Structure formats: C-alpha cells, structure tokens
A and B are shown apart, each in its own frame.
Chain A
Amino acid sequence: MDWVAIGSALFGIAMLVFIFPRMRHALKHSPKGTMKDWLGYLFPLGFVVLFVAFLIMSVR
C-alpha cells in the first residue's frame, strides 16, 4: 500500500473525528421532520435519481 492510500485513510479518519461532535450536536438539536417534510425531500430526490439514471444511459 502506497503512502497516498495511507494518507487518504488518515485524512478520512481525521474527517470522521472532526465531524463526529457536529453529528451528535445535529442529532440532538435539529428539529424533527414530519412525514410531509420528508416527502418534500424525497420528491426532488426522486427527480435527481431519475436524472442521474438518464445521464448514465446517455453515456452507455
């Protein structure tokens, strides 16, 4: 394994250490979404998935 892979792994672990307290804070303090709120996220996400599938088909 070369030093780039080891460096990438160490960098990734540093990112996890940096993100972890922010993730805990967000989980504790962010408001809870209703079913309607989540549908408001899933609706555009569905279009993103379809669009990405279309892009994949276009390069095949």
Chain B
Amino acid sequence: MFAQQPTVTRSSSSVLATNKVLKNTYLLLSMTLIFSSITAYFGIISGTSQGGALVSTIAAIVMLWFVLPRTANSAAGIPVLFVITGLLGYGLGPMLSYYLSMTNGPSIVMTALGGTGVIFLGLSGYALTTKKDFSFMAGFLMVGLFVVIAASIANIFFAMPALQLAVSAAVIMIMAGFILFQTSSIIHGGETNYIMAAAGLFLSLLNMFQALLHLLGAFSNND
C-alpha cells in the first residue's frame, strides 16, 4: 500500500501538470486568435497587396521555424508567438478583402469562422473526453501535409479549380487530424510546452479556416 503511494502522487502531479499545460495552451491560443483577428482587420483596411501578404506570411513562417523553437522555453516565446500570429493574421488581409467584396461575402466569412470554431471545439472535446492516443497518426499527417503542399505548388502553374477544391478538402481533413494529434499529445505528455502547443493549434485552425473559406466561396451562388 505504501509502496504504491509515490506512484499515485506522481500520477496525480502528472495530471495536474497536463491540466496546467492544457489551460495555458487554450488561454494563449484564444489570446493569439483575438490578436491575429485584429491584425487581419488592419490587413483589410490598409488594403494590403498580395505581395505584402506573402512577405508577411513568409516572415511569420521563418520565425516559426527558426526563432520560436529557440525561445519557446523562456518568457520571450510569448511575444514571439504574438508576432508570428499577428503576421499570419495580417497576411489574411487580401484574401478576406476578396471574399468580403462578394455580395454574400460577410456571410461566407462568418460561416467559415463559425464552422472552424465548431469543428475545433468538437474535435478537442472528442480527444479530451475519449483520451485516445493519436500519436500513431504522426507519419500519416506529415505525408498528407507534404502531398497537399506539393499539390498546391503544382496548382500555381496548372491553375485547375478542381485541384484547388480537392486540396482545400484535403487540408480540412488533415488539419482535423492535426487537432486530434496535438490535443492528444498534450493529454499524454508528449507536448509539455504550452507555447509550442498553442502555435501548432493556431496553425491548424488558420489552415482549416482558409480551406473552409475557399470551399464555401467556391460553392456559394455568388461568383
């Protein structure tokens, strides 16, 4: 009985640590989402060009690859994440301006936003309540991401609307997988850094929102 006590203590402290990571991740995620929506608004009202949006997105991804991993274990990681999410939000400006200029554009944008939120809450709830381990999906998701990026590059040259729709549909499914994978990784102790966890979930949400917006824009009656 006494021999088991340290195990129980370690287990409960592990659960507490997991809950703390989850709480901090969702808190940071919600703050970065609000911040990026503000910068997206500035991207819209300032009339950012597509070139400006591309530069902003490239700067954000370069920081995500090379700066965030070096600062994520210190307090500097939080402002770095805000800069990254702010740049990514600003980069959405031209795309949002395009959809908002359509007759039912505001409705499409709000539907995509709400739909992304509902999917995220549903998948997070599923991963949190079932406590399933989705670590087996790592290889599958990375291959999926690789294929989708390769198809997107090909479509820059071929400009096939059907391929664009297929890529958008695939992105939604892959990002759904990433949300399950990342949430289960936090629950099972694979991800203990809430800054990296929030960055991963933010990217999944951003990509899902963009893909859903493309699909809804393409299938809406308005051309």
A45 touches B142 (CB 8 A): no
Inside 8 A of A9's CB, which chain B residues have their CB?
153, 156-157
Contact of A23 among B142, B156, B215 (CB under 8 A): B142
Distance A36 CA – B111 CA, assembled complex (angstroms) = 33
Distance from A20 Cβ to chain B, minimum over Cβ atoms (Å): 7
Distance from A15 Cβ to chain B, minimum over Cβ atoms (Å): 5
Inside 8 A of A44's CB, which chain B residues have their CB?
122-123, 126, 176, 180
Q: How many residues of A contact B (CB 8 A)?
A: 39
Distance from A34 Cβ to chain B, minimum over Cβ atoms (Å): 8
Q: Counting CB contacts under 8 A, is B198 at the interface?
A: no
Contact of B136 among A31, A45, A47, A52 (CB under 8 A): A31
The closest CB in chain A to the CB of B151 belongs to A12
A59 touches B104 (CB 8 A): yes
Inside 8 A of B150's CB, which chain A residues have their CB?
12, 16
Q: Which residues of chain B (123-152) have a CB below 8 Å from chain A?
A: 123, 126, 130, 132-139, 141-143, 145-146, 149-150, 152
Inside 8 A of A59's CB, which chain B residues have their CB?
104, 107-108, 111, 216, 219-221
Distance from B99 Cβ to chain A, minimum over Cβ atoms (Å): 11
- Give the interface centre of A11, A19, A49, A52 by most chain B CB atoms within 10 Å: A52
Q: Counting CB contacts under 8 A, is B115 at the interface?
A: yes
A42-60 to B contact mask, C-beta < 8 Å, 1/0 = 0011011101100110111
Q: How many residues of B contact A (CB 8 A)?
A: 50
Inside 8 A of B107's CB, which chain A residues have their CB?
59
Distance A27 CA – B136 CA, assembled complex (angstroms) = 9
Inside 8 A of A37's CB, which chain B residues have their CB?
132-134, 136
Contact of A19 among B104, B139, B145 (CB under 8 A): B145
Contact of B146 among A4, A16, A28, A49 (CB under 8 A): A16
- Give the interface centre of A8, A9, A27, A40 by most chain B CB atoms within 10 Å: A40
Chosen A-B contacts, 15 in total, with CB atoms closer than 8 Å, are A15-B149, A19-B142, A19-B145, A19-B146, A26-B141, A28-B139, A33-B136, A37-B136, A41-B134, A41-B180, A44-B123, A48-B119, A52-B115, A52-B172, A52-B215
Give the A-binding residues of B (Cβ under 8 A): 50-51, 54, 57-58, 61, 65, 104, 107-108, 111-112, 115, 118-119, 122-123, 126, 130, 132-139, 141-143, 145-146, 149-150, 152-153, 156-157, 169, 172-173, 176-177, 180, 212, 215-216, 219-221
